[in-house]
Amino acid sequence: MTSLIERAGLAALHKIDPETAHGLSIRALRMGLVPLPGPISSSRLKTDLAGLALPNPVGLAAGFDKNAEAVAQLMRAGFGFIEVGAATPRAQEGNPRPRLWRLTPDRAAINRFGFNNQGMEPITKRLAARPQGIPVGLNLGANKDAADRAKDFATVLAHAGAHLDFATVNVSSPNTEKLRDLQGKAALSALLAGVIETRDTLARRIPVFLKIAPDLGAEELAEIAEVALESGIDGIIATNTTLSREGLTSPSPSDQGGLSGAPLFEKSTRVLAQLSKLTEGKLPLIGVGGVGSAEQAYEKIRAGASAVQLYTAMVFSGLSLAAEIARGLDALLERDGFASVADAVGTGRDAWL
């Protein structure tokens, strides 16, 4: 449950510009002002994700800690794994502000950041200094003005790979012009081949995941599943934010940018279930989009996910949500007689097809 202190902090943050508030939340974490529960685990919650040993299957999605500034603290926040970034080879400002909006009545957000980050060098230095503990991964991005965007993903992996437990190829952000074009079959095959080739030069083999958009038709999803199975990647993250404004009850503050949060839950879960069917259990899937409760995390798992990630729901419920979901998920697994997360994966998939 959200504590009185956390509720007061959230109320104060919601009175100021959301991007400024986000920066303050990262600073508060780093200063030790946020209570952290430490690891949350049980025999039921322990999960193998593409060879990663997770204490629980509740992860932090990329974007919350873009520059890996609060990794040590986030590792103690109750998550089973965390993902930082996206990181690009060179630092970039991203799109002009305002570029983040809270939609409180919908428990949603819209962002059009455009891969703003400090670049791979300072991010890698911080990752190299992090403590041991839960798996930490990096979301790989491409510079907006890169002559060869596909090469940028491999460049970041080559630079940071020695300090990662996994890496994610992000070709699904809606906020970098033409980035989603890299989800096409030929372009995606070539991009992933370069990333896998780079991964295979690292001293330690790490899993590589692919993060896809929710705004894909059946034929496009089938192509992505085919490429993913052929490419040698280790899993798919479904999904990133959506360009659709479907499900909003409040007016959209921007027709550009990606919508995340509660309205994305059904759309992203349908994509997840379709991917689960297309890949026939041969690749682990990570369910992202609108997860705000243990019940919703459980629904993603039953639709085909081996693990889940959250972000936007914490804007409204606080960082304690991660531990709350993990504990609630443990209770749901016990209630339904599942000895592990793996036993529950895909058991409710057909309801989403």
Secondary structure (H, E, C), the chain: CCCHHHHHHHHHHCCCCHHHHHHHHHHHHHCCCCCCCCCCCCCCCCEEECCEEECCCEEECCCCCCCCCCHHHHCCCCCCEEEEEEECCCCECCCCCCCEEEEHHHCEEEECCCCCECCHHHHHHHHHCCCCCCCEEEEECCCCCCCCHHHHHHHHHHHHHHHCCEEEEECCCCCCCCHHHHHCHHHHHHHHHHHHHHHCCCCCCCCEEEEECCCCCHHHHHHHHHHHHHHCCCEEEECCCECCCCCCCCCCCCCCCEEEEHHHHHHHHHHHHHHHHHHCCCCCEEEECCCCCHHHHHHHHHHCCCEEEECHHHHHHCCCHHHHHHHHHHHHHHHCCCCCHHHHCCCCHHHHC
Confidence of residue 159 (pLDDT cuts 50, 70, 90): very high
Q: What is the mean pLDDT of residues 313-321?
A: 96
Radius of gyration over alpha carbons of the chain, in Å?
Answer: 18
Q: What is the mean pLDDT of residues 67-73?
A: 98
Quick one: CA torsion of 344, 311, 194, 124, rounded to 10 degrees? -120
Query: Would you say 119 and 140 are in contact if contact means Cβ atoms under 8 Å apart?
Result: no
Confidence of residue 1 (pLDDT cuts 50, 70, 90): low
Q: What is the mean pLDDT of residues 259-265?
A: 98
Q: What is the mean pLDDT of residues 97-113?
A: 96
Note the pLDDT of residue 125: 98
Note the pLDDT of residue 4: 83
Note the pLDDT of residue 184: 78
List, by residue number, the catalytic residues: 173
CATH code of the domain covering residue 143:
3.20.20.70
Note the pLDDT of residue 237: 98
Q: In terms of Cα–Cα distance, which of 159, 185, 174 is closest to 254? A: 174
Question: Which residues constitute the domain of residue 273?
Answer: 4-352
Give the model confidence (pLDDT) of 215-228 as tens digits.
Answer: 999 999 999 999 99
Q: What is the mean pLDDT of residues 307-316?
A: 97
State how many domains the chain has.
1
Give the model confidence (pLDDT) of 182-206 as tens digits.
Answer: 777 888 999 999 999 999 999 999 9
The percentage of the chain sitting over the pLDDT mark of 90, rounded to a whole number, equals: 90
pTM: 0.97
